[in-house]
Chain A
Amino acid sequence: MRDIDPLFQAMSYYRRRKFEQCVEITSTLLEKNPNDQVAWLLKMRALTEQLYVDETEVADDGLADMLDDNAFHQTPMPGTSMRQPTANTNAGMSGPSPAMRPTTMAGRPITGMLRLNTQSTQGGKSMENALKTARTAATARPVTTATGRFVRLGTASMLSTPDGPFLQVGRLNLPKYAQNQAISRSLFEHLFYHANDVRAALQLATHANEVYQNKDWWWLAQLGKCYHRLDMIRDSEKQYVISLEIQPMVDTYLYLSRIYLRLDQPLLSITKLQEGLEKFPFEPCLIQAIARIHEGLNDMTQSIEYYRQVLKLDNTNIEAIACIAANHFYNEQPEISLKFYRRLLQMGVATSAIFTNIALCCFHAQQYDMIVACFLKALGCATSDDERAEIWYNIGEMALYTTDINLAIQCFRLALVHNNDHAEAYNNLGLVELQRDNNEIGQIYLQTAQSLAPHMFEPYYNYGKSMYEQGDLQSSFRAIKSSLDIYKNHADSKHIYEELRKMFSEL
């Protein structure tokens, strides 16, 4: 019986995404015959595919990006920029207030799903704020530079080829390869994703575009990608636009929208995505991108509207379900939220976060029988200390609601054992201690919470109130002012503020 052809076997492995075996076979083929271009091409593709990252999802603006002055306006009109979503950071927000819905470190309402960029500052803060943000384990401080992640990808590629890099990038005759249509595209992807050599990739793309006389949308889009990676935003935009003129593609629209986000033009970004939607009316990715931008602009109603559209097209979209569920939860509709979370659970997303959320929904929907079981499951599912800390914190909240102070203290302490930077736990622990008349301990806890989470107004308010009650009016005034800085319309803070002001003016 004749054996199967090794090249066919390799291609079959490639199809089935068994890239390691594919690389193995092609490597032996190349050992036998170093000039075998087909095997070389296949090996290159397999290596690339191992490290492929969807470029439309990459995120995390680095600190270096913040120094950039790509944004159009330094002081943009309200509602037109991620920097200043609305004129009044809180008043104009359509949706729940920070008192109801906690905010992220960047001052945005917490989102339903963790994805890249939700943790970072989203360019929404000035440089000083970014540097000022507390440095905890899960810090909101941006990565030092955008290249950090890419460098790691590059080293990952070194790992996958332990005998040294597959290609000697410096020795490639790029103009020659650019002539060869079949090889050049794979070579480009290899350079871009695997070798992580954007400069060489850019050269290749430039040569190829000369060959095609700028008529090939793919090469134009790739050129744009290179410029984007090199932070040449305007050049990148130009390439994407030409590429879209030749051939509209979903990915290109997404790239273009990312460019406008970098330029801090979220409305233009949405416009472009909507243009894309006219061409591809059934594309959930585009709608999802619009929803994310609206979320970034604090426009919750719009955002949820678009997430609903995503679900109409693709009812298995986890992000959309999670975001809608979170929105319902914070809008005091825990029963509806519970339904969404249950659906996620049924779809197989059995993480500790889901169980915790279900438990919280159950509590607020007054289905008390499920709470303990859900929390137990959540604790069982939890894989990281951070998750455990969050779960224990939430259990502590439940204990507070049921006025089981001792249990609450124990839970908060457990949360702090798992994550020593858990500001919310410190805050609540401080409150409990204040209530038990351990004023000094309580104030220390509150101060810790303040230093850990400068984005939360609660520790400031609590501290201010406790100081007010004790008669340290100066400290109280200072704390209340910080609280109002963070959340302008907090009524209780305003009340104390007014009283203090009256008192001071009488003096």
Chain B
Amino acid sequence: MSLFKAREWWSCQVGSGEEFDYGCLKVGSFTENPNNKIIVGSHQGILRIFNPSGSHVDSMSNNYASDLLLEKNLGMPIIQIEIGKFVSSSPMNQIAVLFSHKLSIYDYIEQAGVTEHGRQFDLELNYEHNMNRPTFNMCKGQFGSGGRGNKESSDCEYICVQTLDGVLFVFEYERQTMIKSLPHTYLPGPICYLSRSDAIVTVSSNYHVECYKYQALAIASGADHGSSSNNDARRKGLDIDPSLSVSQSSKKVLPDWSFNLGECALGIQTTQRIRNASQTILVLGERNLFCLTDNGQLIFMSKFEYNPSTFVVYNSEVSQSDASNPSVRYIIGTHSRTLFIAQDGHIRWAAHVDSVPVQIEVATIQDIRGMICTLSETGLLQCCYLGTDPVSTSIPTIMSSTMINVEEAEEQLTKLNKQIKQAMNDPTLVVKRKSNAQVTIQIDDTNQFSTTDETRFQRHDVESTVPSLCVNIRVKSSEAIQNTLLTVHVHTPLCAQPNEIRMGHIGGISAIGTASIVFWMRDDLTPWNLEATFTVSYNTMSDNVCQTIQKSYKLPIKLVARSYQQPISATTADQCKITLGANKPVADLNRVFPELSTGDTNQQQGLTVRFYGSVENVSILASSKSQKYRFQSDSLASIWLFSNLLIERLSASSSIEFEFGDPLPLNDYFSIIDRHYELRVECEQINSTLEISSKQFRAIQKRLLSKFKDKTPSLLDNLDILLENTNQQILALADRYEQSRYELNRCSHDLSCATKLICLLLKISVSLSSDNAQLLNAILSPVTSDDNEQGWEETVDAAVNYALRTVLARSKSAELGSMPSTIGNSTTNMDINKLKKRIQTLCERLEKGGSLVSSSSTRETNLSPDSAYSSTSLSTRKEKPIASNRRKKDDDEDTEIPNGDHEDVFRMLPSTNARKQYNNEDDDN
């Protein structure tokens, strides 16, 4: 970044489609004329000589025809150009052109014509050296002068060419005097001649600046023209003609001195030599600039914050006259298109240029000293000087600066403000507009079952091919809606694929979003709910309020169960039997469950089915004599779905009433609760063990780490074995945890089913009203969540407890504000027996005619235990064997509560007395 631009004095585009790199630009003069000419050679082999005449006339038209003195196609890629006295006989300067395989020296011939336009320029080949290998770069110098270079010997300049494989060729005019390969050269570096010590300075591939005395090189190049040694190692297999190989001496040349740069170099240059003052070497690295004395000591370095492309060291008269204070001046060109003009370590000026320069030269043109010539890789040749033109950065123009009509703008502003205010203050504005969109979900059951085996059944003894059902969904909207998302939710053993469909934009009245969803049973768990819920969320176009609609759909039972031909021998193994009485003659089960019927009509009234992935049978028997339906199964859980379905289907066709006279199967139910609770405790225990062992694992890791980090190596103290063991333990625990979780999941499903069944039976047996049934369902919730800290037991306990204390309370103490203390306790602390007892009490109280609907709480329920007993409506009531004595105790306690409390006016606020009472009771329990 620079404040100013380099001011362009003259520029032209050299060629088109030609490439240029470092070395392609040279500035110099051939005669005594102090004005410099610019010589440019391209990689395409075209040499051009320019003599810029000034900008004032031609730059407008970009006409540089008269400035271009010569353009010549030399037929070979030009790599580097030098100007110097390369011919011993001539006092004039010659041009040395380094081609890719050749070095040629040209004379510059200028024939004056009659007029200015009649001048002729030409290049005449003086001599050339062919080379058998690709060249890389060259430098000129008075090689062999031994550093005593005086005025007279400076007339002669020799050329040193470096080839691509690091071999130096020195040519003294027409004669080739030396061939020497530099050691360890992989990629040749830049070279330059150091006249004071008569040496060649280069940067080798190992990031060292190396200085080779010419004397040492010349001696080492010596006599033997043996076989090349190090080339072959480097470019093995490349078919170099062995005859081409250079003379290599057996002994290696050692550098006079070397300096470790630590990075590769882009260029190397020296300051001009003034008498016997020491020279300074400047090396342009990729990230730093190094300044060295001519004996290899670092004077200064400066770090770049940019990527340099090229640099040039130039000498001004000031430094020449004042040799005692040698300051070095240079210009660095960067890839960020900036020229930095620097003296020693200071950046004196920064100027912006239009392109990335590949080479910079400082020239005297038209008697203007210090003109900066830059060449870009595409051939943009510029002569610039430093000025104070600001950099023209493109600042975005926002709007045309036309005059704004103040009145109009004000009017518009007030209008907009009004609108904004309206929108912000009027909440109805948002609400009113949304109600237009009518979104409906239509479900088309194709009733087409196919089979799938994408199941995750864990019991391997059952076949895993289950039917799947494809359901088509259509989402209709009366108005355009967007961001429509359809989500499908089913209860776990079932699954839906895909369960989330992005419909995006549904536009217009006729447009319909459709989707087809496949349902099947994935896990071998007892299904407890066949309902699938479709939820569509969408935004209307008018506002961004998200809205949802829901629709549920009952999936056919065929997805989860199939009929099973029961072997006769196994009939009696069923443990659970539920018998439902009905007030109508029994229906044909094959008609009630057509999808499960075996088609075997002559069979007696009975049906045996199995869930997929299960080996348990569920048989449904209908006894026409006693008008009873009987369900038999190994477990309580499996019965639920069928009993519910049967009741639903029979009730749908006719008004039928069922009765359930047997005692509730609470024993079976409690065993399921027990099992569920045990599993939960087990999971928690495994979890805590896992936590402990992973803590141990981390501790061992930390120990090991500090041992490894320690300076003095010490024994591991078998910590590695311990680490391994702990790891295995963790893995084993994790496996066990997974298994327990699976079991827990199974059990949860069983529990859900059983809970629902109990609720159903309770409802039938005491014929609860639908309000009551709903409340009962909420209290004895079938929803089990094992992921929370608070599991099913806690929530149900709390709910049951609450119900017992409020609506079902024997005495109207109305402890509404108290919360059961079970919440917040950890799983292991829970008293599962208390829960069971409470559930039982709940059932009993309901059987005794208690009502859950809160209005009933005002009813007279102040019954003595005995009268409650006698008031039960059903004749088949028997005393339950479980916990009967405990129930007695419970009843006793209940009677202890003073009855007068229910006359309290402020029933909602628990009196201190009541609270104390409650606490006592809880403690006793």
Contact = CB atoms under 8 A, between A and B. Distances in A.
B100 A380 contact: no
A318 B1 contact: yes
B430 interface: no
B347 A313 contact: yes
B417 A250 contact: no
Interface in A153-203: 181-186
Contacts of A12: 19, 21, 43
Interface in B386-402: 390-391, 393-399
Interface string A313-340: 1111010000000000000000000000
A183 B100 contact: no
Interface in B201-220: 204-207
A282 interface: yes
Interface in B10-41: 19, 21-22
Nearest to B393: A348
A248 B345 CA distance: 16
B186 interface: yes
B736 interface: no
Contact of B303 (A3, A283, A377, A379): A283
B307 interface: yes
Interface stretch (B56-64, B229-237, B500-508, B550-558): B229-237
Interface residues of B, number: 69
A217 B352 contact: no
Contacts of A232: 709
B733 interface: no
B462 to A, nearest CB: 46
Contacts of B394: 350
Nearest to B391: A348
A347 B392 CA distance: 9
Contacts of A49: 286
A348 B260 contact: no
B723 interface: no
A17 interface: yes
A348 B1 CA distance: 6
Secondary structure at the A interface, as helix, strand, loop or mixed, is helix
Given A185-B206, A377-B398, A36 B235 contact: yes
A37 interface: yes
A474 B515 CA distance: 57
A16 B377 CA distance: 8
A41 interface: yes
Contacts of A33: 235-238
B335 interface: yes
Nearest to B207: A185
Contacts of B3: 316, 343, 346-347
Q: Which one of B235, B237, B352, B417 has the highest number of Cβ atoms from chain A below 10 Å of its Cβ?
A: B235
B184 A218 contact: no
Interface in B63-94: 75-77, 79
A461 to B, nearest CB: 28
B541 interface: no
Contact of B345 (A4, A54, A218, A313): A313
A217 B206 CA distance: 13
Contacts of A186: 205
B345 A280 contact: yes
The size class of the interface chain A forms with chain B is: 35 or more
B298 A247 contact: yes
Contacts of B204: 182
Contact of B346 (A17, A216, A313): A313
B134 A5 contact: yes
A221 B262 contact: yes
Given A316-B347, A379-B398, A348 B2 contact: yes
Given A8-B79, A182-B186, A316-B3, A283 B399 contact: no
A7 B164 contact: yes
B347 A314 contact: yes
A181 B207 CA distance: 9
B186 A350 contact: no
A250 B288 contact: yes
A133 to B, nearest CB: 25
Given A33-B235, A313-B345, A381-B396, A2 B100 contact: yes
A274 interface: no
A241 interface: no
Given A38-B235, A181-B206, A347-B1, A45 B398 contact: no
Interface in B608-665: none
A7 B397 CA distance: 47
A244 to B, nearest CB: 13
Nearest to A231: B709
B253 interface: no
A2 B300 CA distance: 43
Interface string B372-414: 0000010000000000001101111111000000000000000
A250 B261 CA distance: 12
B350 interface: yes
A281 interface: yes
A181 to B, nearest CB: 4
A504 to B, nearest CB: 30
Contacts of A376: 398-399
Nearest to B188: A11
Contacts of B399: 376
B45 interface: yes
Contacts of A2: 76-77, 100-101
B825 to A, nearest CB: 30
Interface string A13-48: 001110000000000000001111110011001000
A483 B189 CA distance: 63
Given A41-B205, A315-B350, 8 more contacts: A4-B100, A8-B100, A8-B164, A15-B358, A41-B187, A343-B3, A347-B391, A377-B396
28 contacts: A1-B76, A2-B76, A2-B101, A4-B77, A8-B100, A8-B136, A33-B235, A33-B238, A34-B237, A37-B234, A38-B187, A38-B235, A49-B286, A54-B287, A182-B205, A186-B205, A250-B301, A280-B301, A282-B300, A283-B303, A285-B303, A313-B345, A347-B3, A350-B395, A376-B398, A376-B399, A380-B397, A406-B417
